[in-house]
Amino acid sequence: MSSKIKRGVSLYSYQNETFQGKMTLEDCIRVSSELGAKGIEIIGEQTFWGWPECGVAQDDVDNWHRLIAKYDCTPVSHDFMLDYKRYKGREMPFEEQVASVRNDIDFGARLGMKYIRALVSIAPEVLVAAAPYAEEKGIKILIEVHAPLHFDHPWIVRHAEAFEKSGSDALGFLPDMGMFLFSFPPVWKEKFMRIGVPKHIADYIEKAYEDRVLSEYVILNVQQMGGTGPAIAMAETMRHNAAFEPKRMLDYMPRIHNIHGKFYQMNEDCVEPSIPYDEIVKVLQQGGYEGYICSEYEGNRWIEDAEEPDSVEQVRRQQVMLAKLLGETEVPTIKTPLMAVAAE
């Protein structure tokens, strides 16, 4: 069975390498393309130095289009930030926030994107006010529904109501799969143990997560077990993460246009031990989803103190998993090792 769901990568996944200059934009696009993940999502200001305060030269935009064409890829989303705390001590005025979103709509359009991603903390009124301009430019603004928020949270419900009331189809959602965290991620537990959480407390928190115990009880229990600093911090991750159900997306399918394939670790057997991708793919297929699932590797920050992340290998494993779940017959493989390119 083949699926209409398409595979992509958010170049956020390669941040550890791009930060250090170990991978260029071309490396990121080529590797993703070789894996059959032809949809490319970026955080505009990560990929393009200068954006937004200093602007981006047309040469850089031309280079982007050249690389996208060279590797037969499709621009999917420009994730924008809207720094409404740009001014110390006062929030950016409403009209300026709307103008800032329009600026990102323009940038998304220059890059050939279908979508721009809005952070979840942005007020619905700002997005509604920017929607007519987005329609004009053929862009949809997608708010990222990300843990600790979820589709039943009143803040998200308020967005949904505002989107409906606006009557605009340029407003939608971009769910981050991290909100469906069904087990405590092993890389989190290992990191907390490295910074001093005793094993019996780490084991207790992992089990309490499994048992779906309310975070506030877990925090109190950890305190009573003698937990301090890092142990409390580990318990507090349960305030910001929970095993919400993938099927909650079904009510919102007409406005879901892109998916963040968040993952913290892909084991050698190409399984994400904490996020239920089999269930997620089933729900998306049931809901008739036809957009991209873009890999978003976020394990880097949990292991970098102990080992150098290998983001490309992690993305490869997730793409192998996704291809299998989507019923593809070919196993994604990297044809050009990074080292070979560096040696050229």
- Total binding residues toward another protein, as defined by CB under 8 A: 29
User: What is the gyration radius of the CA atoms in the chain, in angstroms?
Assistant: 20
Is the distance from CB of 144 to CB of 183 less than 8 angstroms? Answer: no
Counting DSSP H helices and E strands in the chain, the numbers are 15, 8
Please say which residue, 168 or 300, places its beta carbon nearer to another protein.
Answer: 300
Please say which residue, 28 or 281, places its beta carbon nearer to another protein.
Answer: 28
> What is the DSSP code (8-state) at residue 274?
S
Please say which residue, 49 or 165, places its beta carbon nearer to another protein.
Answer: 49
What is the rounded distance in angstroms from the CA atom of residue 216 to the CA atom of residue 224?
Answer: 13
Report in angstroms how near the CB of residue 124 gets to another protein at its nearest: 15
Draw the binding track, 102-141, toward another protein (x: CB under 8 A; -: no contact).
-----------------xxx--------------------
Please say which residue, 16 or 258, places its beta carbon nearer to another protein.
Answer: 16
Task: Identify the residue among 305, 307, 330, 344 touching another protein (CB under 8 A).
Answer: 305
Please say which residue, 305 or 330, places its beta carbon nearer to another protein.
Answer: 305
**Would you call 251 helix, strand, or coil by DSSP?**
helix
Length of the chain: 344
- A 10 A CB-CB count for 159 gives 25
**Would you call 243 helix, strand, or coil by DSSP?**
strand
Q: Is 238 in the site for another protein (CB under 8 A)?
A: no
Task: Identify the residue among 66, 70, 87, 217 touching another protein (CB under 8 A).
Answer: 87
Please say which residue, 42 or 283, places its beta carbon nearer to another protein.
Answer: 42
Q: Calculate the alpha carbon distances from 342 to 18, 27, 91, 113, 337 in Å.
A: 14, 10, 45, 29, 9
Please say which residue, 49 or 217, places its beta carbon nearer to another protein.
Answer: 49
The interface region with another protein, picked from 59-67, 82-90, 204-212, 336-344 by CB under 8 A, is: 82-90
Task: Identify the residue among 88, 167, 224, 330 touching another protein (CB under 8 A).
Answer: 88
CB burial class (10 A; 0-12, 13-18, 19+) of residue 74?
Answer: middle
Draw the binding track, 17-36, toward another protein (x: CB under 8 A; -: no contact).
-xxxx---------------
Q: Is 86 in the site for another protein (CB under 8 A)?
A: yes
Contacts of 49 (CB under 8 A, 6+ apart): none
Report in angstroms how near the CB of residue 48 gets to another protein at its nearest: 9
Residue 170 in tokens: 């340029």
Is the distance from CB of 274 to CB of 183 less than 8 angstroms? Answer: yes
Q: Is 90 in the site for another protein (CB under 8 A)?
A: no
Residue 306 in tokens: 């102990």
Task: Identify the residue among 125, 203, 216, 304 touching another protein (CB under 8 A).
Answer: 304
Is the distance from CB of 296 to CB of 260 less than 8 angstroms? Answer: yes
Contact residues toward another protein (CB under 8 A) are: 12, 15-16, 18-21, 43, 45-46, 49-50, 53-54, 81-88, 119-121, 300-301, 304-305
